[in-house]
Chains A and B, each alone.
Chain A
Amino acid sequence: MTQVNRLPGGLVDRSEEVKFQFNDKWMRGYPGDTLASALMANGQLLVGRSFKYHRPRGVFTAGSEEPNALVQLRRRAEQEPNTRATMIELFEGLYATSQNHRGSLEFDLLAINDFFAPFLSAGFYYKTFMWPKAFWEKLYEPIIRSAAGLGRLSMKEDPDSYDKGFLHCDLLVIGAGPAGLAAALTAGRSGARVILADEDFRPGGRLNAETLELGGMAGHAWAEEAVKELAEMDNVRLMSRTTVYGAYDHGIYGVLERCTDHLRDSNGKPRQILWRIYSKRAVLAAGATERPIAFGNNDRPGILLAGAMRAYANRYAVAPGKQIAVFTNNDDGWRTAADLYAKGVEITTVVDSRDKPALLNIPGARHFGGQAVMDTVGRAGMKSIQLTNGQVIPCDGLAVSGGWNPNVHLTCHQRGRPEWREDLCAFVPGSDLPPGMVVAGAANGAMTLAAALSEGAVKASAQLEDLGIKPKGGEMPQAEDEPRDCAAFWHVKQSKNRAWVDLQNDVTVKDVKLANTEGFRSVELLKRYTTMGMATDQGKTSNIAGLAILAEEAGKTIPEVGTTIFRPPYTPVPLGALAGRARGKDFRPYRLTPSHKWTEENGASFVTVGNWLRAEWYTQPGEKGWRDSVDREVLQTRKSVGICDVTTLGKIDIQGKDAGAFLDMVYANTFSTLKVGRVRYGLMLREDGICYDDGTTARMGEDHYVMTTTTANAVLVFRRMEFVRQCLCPDMDVHLISTTDGWAQFAVAGPKSRDLLRKVIDRDHDISNDAFPFMACGHVTVCGGTPARLFRISFSGELAFEIAVPARYGNSMMAVLNEAGKEFDAVPYGTEALGVMRIEKGHCTGNELNGQTTAHNIGLGKMVSQKKACIGNVLSQRPEMIREDAVRLVGFRPVDRSRKLIAGSHFITKGDTASMANDQGWMTSVAYSPNLGYSIGLGFLKEGQNRMGEIVRAVSPIHNTEMEVEVVSPHFIDPEGERLRG
């Protein structure tokens, strides 16, 4: 195929040809073409099938508003569906296919839908597929889903990479048309930090599409000069191929930069970048979008918006045919006729809905004033048009202009409402713009070149002055105020055939009327009922016509009908760009314990705990499953000694003269009385008296405490304490800093733990029971002088210590402890064994402190001091919180010892029905105790403290199980605490 529709001139680079494929056919274009213009140049007017009726469709616009020409770009894993051909920059080897058809593009089997159109009106599936009800999910919905949709995903992993970033500027200029360039030049020349973003690959906006002059220069040439000047300014960042898709709070804009979409290969670089731009001020110069007029069969390939057809002729040097007709309700449509004629294209007719003399003299063109196009003939292309006066005029292309709509979208992203301007027959930005934003140029209703230029400079100057920057260089070249008269004309009432309002969703004038008839009269309901304004184009070309027809039917004005609210994104943003680089292993950061390397080398299986990777157990040769490993670790620890990396617990360094008083405030129990060298268990409450976190805090010096928190709450507790420090206790001399990552901390637990540590801790430190009793703490040195901290605390219930060394020694320390422990058959143990031992001992964790339970529930009610002010102690004493029959933490074991308890089971008194009304509590934690030889559990039971020995039923409707369990003390092992004090 040759470039049969190529015209002379244009802004494409004819010095080289670009070869590309569409539906496996090789074609040629030029650098500077879009896929749409290149297809048109090659006479390929049919580019896709419509959404519902599978009607043949062609390119309709020249920009991001394109409703029709959606293609699948690239192939295999790189394939991207629903890509607008009007936005695809042509590159060598480009491969695209049409979409939404069964069979070939030319002979689409689903085009049969078009013949059933009378049955497929708006909301047809709501009405049609009501019966039988059971068919909906199994039959109707799958069929509809299969037929619906446009392009197809490759179903393969996206091989491209994406990135994100952050930019800052004094002034963000959105759009590089005449107003945007004027704004950027003014701000750039004034020394402000400017970002100029434009979705096109060639800045200039309509200047590239028109033949208008500025200061004696062609518009596109002036734009080139302006861009060159801006590019040389260090304070200006030019971002082409970049769409500002959302206006968010505080001057923050969401921006998508397409970095390599115009290249054959990304070469390992991010394909797209999702930027967050922090702007002090913004100028929205997003231009305007032309709208069509609805008339019979107004959707054929070869029918384009008039401004788009002008853009194709002037910028890309192509036309959709040789004999073009123009249908307009405004002066601007006449320029299309004039420009195409100047390019040598025959203009057969100019049909103006306004009954007024011809605006321009177009040689050879017949002028029909006060008439309209009523119908068209053709299938995959145009053959003729029929006017309301009955005349049939042959043509192979039709340019339609129904006027222009300012692109107000971003002004509405923070609930701003646009206002109707009668002279433009369009909505313009309202007064409630996003803070910091002004609107200039066509986006603001300044529809002529001179007005746009002037407004761009003036609005930018005002923004600069607001920032305290003196504006300079805002003088713009002379430009004309071209005719722009427009008379409202939305659809041709005489049309008998279907007239399309929304091309992308196959919504017709009749559908809109039907919605109104059936009571869907709110504009929001109209959208949802008809799907008008949905999908990739979000109704950029269709919304106003739809509103106008609804208004007409409802007997209201357009502003009375109102608009649906515009929300981000302005144009589609790929999910890959939203994900950025967060994928695979690096989906989110991970944290490693200091002993990770040793742990990995010694058979550990890892579990994620928050962002941490912790050893859950260590597999030994011959072990067939995790239980083998965990049982061994538990038994060996209780028999001799076990070692566990507990670095993940939060550590907060607390210093200051008022540190003790501060801890009295944040903990429910008292810490100011704790002696130096001692540790105490602490319980934190929320303001409402519910348990928040627990841990131990050691007093390392007179003014120095070291707190541990649970792993999960480390950051939250720190943040809360910082809040208390700064906001509740600003008069206290207390200072907090996290040392979680600074110390590698190991639990060394079991009857041989002291013996093991004696081999590691330097001999001048006495760690005997007398010198270093239960709940002691202190500074020691290990392995010949390395500073360390030692704590005599026990989570397992055994004689146990926790020893901390600077994190850099953590891996080595783990190796040393295990090496030193060999003579005791020491074992490293993971989180599962840790969990089993704490359940055996009856210690709480997050399962019990789950945000619903009180100190009273867990049996620590007396720990909440009423003698001091502390967070939560007042509200913890509400009558409902301290009821005698409240649930209490108790232990459970199955009556049939061979059965396995299930966490989450609810307790029901024997003889009662298993219902919520009879719910007595729930099982929080369960484990197989290798020491006892059966399953044990902890849980909350109503008045549990008085029900020891009672048999209740543990019911789990989720697992469909039920078993009898005996209520026992939560302390299964060493209830007297003799071991840990030993």
Chain B
Amino acid sequence: MAEFTLTAAPPLAGHDETFGDTRLHAPQDFAIVSVALPLGGETAAKKAIKTAYGVELPAPGKSVVAKGKERILRLAPDLAFVFFTHAGADAETIVADKLKDKAYLTDQTDVWTALELSGPMARAALERICPLDLYTDAFALNDGARTVMEHLGTIILRTDDDTYLLLSASSSADSFLHAIETSIKNVI
């Protein structure tokens, strides 16, 4: 038994608030692992992804939900993120076990803070901080993109008709939360 124990305290953990029908909450145990496709080894990596998750690696800017509920977002030709629910600090190992050294992995779980914004005012709120065109046809279901919101680098994913998953740096989580909360309050 170790003399000391560590307690996990991710920023914004447990945050959940509603503004009328619009909800802003931090998904629990949200694990992120980046998957880089080796130069020359792309085919093998894609095959490994298909085998592991049962889905094709989507095109850049698109995401797909795997059989095991993992979501894979292709951020660049040679880079994807795998999102899944996992509490431990070994998310990278979980993906590594599936992909069998066919890709380069980096645990990104603690790099990001995640907030899910859902409800009828979600798009109107995001209009205030998101420079991207979120019109339903322009940013379709399962689309994802990197952008900047209130000076903060952000990844935005449309996970449902009126639901967006937002990722930003964990160190500036307070500022990020403030930016989104302010946007919601300004439009409801």
Contact = CB atoms under 8 A, between A and B. Distances in A.
A, B from the same assembly: yes
Interface of A: 161, 163-168, 193, 268-270, 273, 276, 278, 581, 586, 588-594, 597, 611-612, 647, 653, 655-658, 703-704, 731-735, 737-743, 759-760, 762, 782-787, 805-809, 811-813, 816, 819-820
Which of B11, B78, B131, B186 has the most CB atoms of chain A within a 10 A radius of its CB? B186
A168 B175 contact: no
A345 B111 CA distance: 73
B148 to A, nearest CB: 11
Given A784-B5, A786-B6, A589 B151 contact: yes
Contacts of A276: 131
Contacts of B53: none
Given A165-B127, A581-B182, A808 B133 contact: no
A161 B187 CA distance: 13
B3 A806 contact: no
6 closest Cβ pairs, A-B complex: A784-B2, A589-B175, A735-B36, A733-B39, A168-B133, A807-B110
5 contacts: A163-B182, A737-B106, A808-B10, A816-B6, A820-B3
Given A739-B108, A806-B109, 5 more contacts: A161-B186, A163-B183, A164-B128, A273-B128, A787-B89
Interface string B87-119: 001100000000000001011111110000000
A657 to B, nearest CB: 7
A592 B172 CA distance: 6
Contact of A166 (B107, B127, B173): B127
Contacts of A819: 4
B185 to A, nearest CB: 8
Interface in B1-48: 1-11, 34, 36, 38-41
B50 interface: no
Contact of A759 (B1, B4, B138, B170): B4
B172 A739 contact: no
A590 B175 contact: yes
Nearest to A168: B133
B171 A809 contact: no
Given A742-B109, A784-B1, A812 B186 contact: no
A809 B130 contact: no
Nearest to B173: A592
A168 B108 CA distance: 32
A809 B5 CA distance: 10
A74 to B, nearest CB: 21
Contacts of A703: 104
Contact of B171 (A588, A591, A732): A591
Contacts of B152: 589
Contacts of B104: 655-656, 703-704, 735
B12 to A, nearest CB: 11
Contact of B135 (A193, A589, A805, A809): A193
A787 B169 CA distance: 21
A807 to B, nearest CB: 4
Nearest to B3: A759
B6 A809 contact: yes
A867 to B, nearest CB: 25
A653 B106 contact: yes
Contact of A589 (B5, B8, B150): B150
B6 A168 contact: no
A733 B38 contact: yes
A809 B2 contact: no
B128 A165 contact: yes
A657 B36 contact: no
Contact of B4 (A161, A591, A743, A820): A820
A598 to B, nearest CB: 10
Which of B130, B151, B170 has the most CB atoms of chain A within a 10 A radius of its CB? B170
A786 B152 CA distance: 30
A278 B131 CA distance: 9
Nearest to A732: B39
Nearest to A276: B131
B178 interface: yes
Nearest to A760: B4
A742 B104 CA distance: 17
B79 interface: yes
B176 interface: yes
A590 B3 contact: no
Interface in B117-159: 127-133, 135, 138, 150-152
A783 B106 contact: no
B174 interface: yes
B22 to A, nearest CB: 16
A653 B132 CA distance: 28
A772 B104 CA distance: 27
Given A589-B151, A742-B111, A806-B109, A783 B4 contact: yes
Contact of A168 (B138, B170, B178): B138
Contacts of A611: 172
Contacts of A742: 107-111, 170
A292 B11 CA distance: 63
Which of A655, A731, A741, A783 has the most CB atoms of chain B within a 10 A radius of its CB? A741
A34 to B, nearest CB: 27
A163 B128 contact: yes
A471 to B, nearest CB: 19
A737 B131 contact: no
B9 to A, nearest CB: 6
Nearest to A735: B36
B171 A655 contact: no
Contact of A586 (B89, B129, B132, B178): B178
Contacts of B150: 589
A794 B179 CA distance: 38
Nearest to A816: B4
A167 B123 CA distance: 11
Contacts of B8: 806, 808-809, 812
Given A590-B174, A808-B89, A269 B5 contact: no
A396 B152 CA distance: 60
A657 B36 CA distance: 12
Contacts of B170: 741-742, 807
A166 B174 contact: no
B138 A811 contact: no
A740 B133 CA distance: 29
Which of A270, A806, A812 has the most CB atoms of chain B within a 10 A radius of its CB? A806
A532 to B, nearest CB: 39
B169 A741 contact: yes
A808 B2 CA distance: 19
Given A591-B172, A759-B4, A806-B89, A163 B151 contact: no
Nearest to A166: B131
A636 B8 CA distance: 30
Contacts of A592: 11, 171-174
B34 A737 contact: yes
A776 to B, nearest CB: 22
A735 B79 contact: yes
Nearest to B5: A783
Nearest to B127: A165
Contacts of A735: 36, 38, 78-79, 104
B6 A783 contact: yes
Given A166-B127, A737-B34, A655 B106 contact: yes
A467 to B, nearest CB: 14
B89 A593 contact: no
Given A741-B112, A742-B108, A811-B9, A588 B2 contact: no
Contacts of B129: 164-166
